[in-house]
Amino acid sequence: MESVRDNGWPGARGRRSSIATQFGSDRADLLAWALTTGDPQADAVVEALAQDGAQNGARDDLNRGLVYGLASLHNPHAAVAAFLGHLERTPDYVDDDLLDRGSRPFHSMPPAVHIVSLSVGALIRVYESPSITAVLADTGRLIDGAAGRIRETAKWLGTVMLPGALRVGGAGYVATAQVRLLHARVRHAVRRRGFDEAAFGVPVNQVDLGRTWMDFTLTAWSAEAAMGFGLTTVELERLYRIWWHVGHLLGIDARLIEGVSNHEQARRIDDLFQAVTGPLTKDSVALADATLHSIQAELRAALSLPETLGIRALWSLARRFHGDRIADELQIPRSPVADPLIAGAIEIVRSRRAHARKDAVQWEAGIDGNIDELSKQLAAFLSKAEYEDVAPTYQTSRR
């Protein structure tokens, strides 16, 4: 890979020389590539659809191929064939056991817990990125779309984590391919409107994708542990491994995420991403506030908290998840009333969870019950998510 000098580096993403000093020249070169690269396969599909997907056959090929596979297509559009070929190129770490059972640790806690860790944990940290908030602002759905993004992201996450859902044609596989195409469509749209690539690099670039992957793994699972829903070393290793595959399906370069099997390893890479993220902005503050006000009911369900705590409980958790320095920058108030109640609820959760682990049969039954509950919640979604409109397949999936 050719080294990139500081004058070729996006201006709002730090300096190559600083990254080289901190992390080494090889890492700096990788980031230089990642900051200026989107997703060539997905971008080519979106370009083909924009040129007239119905006329050139790209849309029909895509819709059928996502559900039934590349082999089901006769003489497919070249861009669609390349995209499907990349999706179906199964990495060597993926096997039947991983696809069928790898996500079970995720379901060792009720679905409501994941909504809290997703929103108060993962999404708030995603929104700390100036490049991501710049993209959202360009779409015109910065604040008014916050609640909808939580629902739609929760739908995608739940679909992905159902057992077997990541097999080719499965519901999670199709949904993840659609999210990948949504990223490409957003990239295509904001570039046409003059997105500031000199400052931020390519919109929704590989660094942005890799950092977001960290927020759905490291940030979310750390948040769940902070609520009392901790995972064992073995459970985390399994979840990270299945998320390598999710990352592959999302078009994230393997060099950025594969090999991570615990939080310590993840933090080292996340530090690299964070070094080129930049300070949060006023849009980050507004998004954090909108996010917290959207999920009060889910928090009460997750920790059995009194309704009277309201938003104060979320302020308390946000500070636990992100630390006081970031919380202060996000203008999240302190909550001395909620803090001791949250601490007490967490200790109860932690104690009950430790006790439940002692009975393996009941533990597995609890996991099955949470999977059933999540399946019911997903079935109750009446409206399509935005990502489902990018490539509206013949049916949701084969499974």
Overall size of the chain counted in residues:
399
pLDDT tens across 150-193, in order? 999 999 999 999 999 999 999 999 999 999 999 999 999 999 99
pLDDT tens across 222-276, in order? 999 999 999 999 999 999 999 999 999 999 999 999 999 999 999 999 999 999 9
DSSP state of 307: G
Q: How far is CA 208 from the centre of its chain?
A: 11
pLDDT tens across 117-160, in order? 999 999 999 999 999 999 988 876 677 778 888 999 999 999 99
Calpha distance 231→218 (Å, rounded): 12
Calpha distance 300→313 (Å, rounded): 9
| Residue 318 reports pLDDT greater than 70 | yes
Residue with tokens 């949250």: 342
Q: Is the pTM of this model over 0.85?
A: yes
Hey, what are 88's tokens? 């179906």
Predicted pLDDT of residue 6: 65
Q: Are 63 and 393 in contact (CB under 8 A)?
A: yes
Q: Which residue has the higher pLDDT, 304 or 356?
A: 356
Q: Where residue 397 falls among pLDDT bands split at 50, 70, 90?
A: low
- Amino acid letter at 19? I
pLDDT tens across 34-81, in order? 999 999 999 999 999 988 756 778 999 999 999 999 999 999 999 999
Nearest partner of 299 among 328, 326, 321, judged by Cα: 321
Q: Are 273 and 211 in contact (CB under 8 A)?
A: yes
- Tell me phi and psi for residue 397, to 5 degrees: -175, 180
